[in-house]
Amino acid sequence: MFLTRSKLKINFILLYLLLILLNSIPIKRLFAEDVYIGVASNFLTPIKLLKKKFESINDGQIFISSGSSGSLYSQIIKGAPLDIFLSADQDLPQKLEKTSKAILGTRFTYATGQLVLYSTKQFLFSQSFPQFLTSNKINYIGIGKPGYVPYGRAAKEVLKSLNIFKKMSSKLVFNKSVNQVFLMNYFGNLDIGFISKADFLSNNKKGKIWEIPKNLYSPIKQDAILLKNGEQKNNAILFLKFLSSERTKENLKKFGYVFD
């Protein structure tokens, strides 16, 4: 079947427009791999910095989904198209290793977080930890939901270690993420809250924090793992190597993370 002259003309125009479109896109971008990462909320500011540095030396882009580790885990189990999971604990990546959703042998600890108490209420600034926790002046204490938020689980450990968990339970305000605990404190909606030190150092340091002795809670080891969707993506593997590099660790220390 022969094409009519008008159809040939239309096809030629379409081909010409397609060539113009292809020429307007950098060749590297055509073959670049984008990486989709699920990130625990305490690591949101650091990952944005790492994203810029990684993209400056590699083709492709990084797209970030942030939330509590528990909610991200649930999304991954339900089929969320993520390539990498950066959890705020070790338990959830370990669970993923036992499923078809993650690649066995790719899990590692990328940072260890620090739990601190935080407040913007000036009447507390002269008080000392842990005595002020039981003060009658404190009515609302922010904490991440222990079942979903690793920092919330650590906070519960602290209160239990101090033997005041039951006594304080009526004052606890549970939040969906540790970042939400920080924000509610920042805007004065809580008297005090258990937050990630990274959240405080990542912002303008309004208010005051109290360091919590490490013997009061289990180390908050945060693990990364490559997911099934990212198995064939070179950029996903490159990013995990970048995340585990000594230079990256030095940058993360500025956010309050510690390393063995």
Q: What angle do CA 23, 24, 28 make, to 5 degrees?
A: 80
Give CA–CA dist 128/237, Å, rounded: 45
Instruction: Give me the domains of the chain, ranges plus CATH numbers.
Output: 27-112+221-253 (3.40.190.10), 114-216 (3.40.190.10)
Q: What is the pTM of this model?
A: 0.85
- The pLDDT assigned to 260 comes to 81
Of 230, 239, 224, which Cα lies nearest the Cα of 39? 224
Mind listing the pLDDT tens digit of every residue in the chain (260 residues)? Answer: 444 555 555 555 555 555 555 455 444 444 468 999 999 999 999 999 999 999 999 999 999 999 999 999 999 999 999 999 999 999 999 999 999 999 999 999 999 999 999 999 999 999 999 999 999 999 999 999 999 999 999 999 999 999 999 999 999 999 999 999 999 999 999 999 999 999 999 987 899 999 999 999 999 999 999 999 999 999 999 999 999 999 999 999 999 999 98
Residue with tokens 């590692």: 108
Q: pLDDT tens for residues 169-227? A: 999 999 999 999 999 999 999 999 999 999 999 987 899 999 999 999 999 999 999 99
Token reading at 253: 């220390």
C-alpha–C-alpha distance, residues 86 and 49, integer Å: 15
Integer Cα distance of 222 and 47 in angstroms = 13
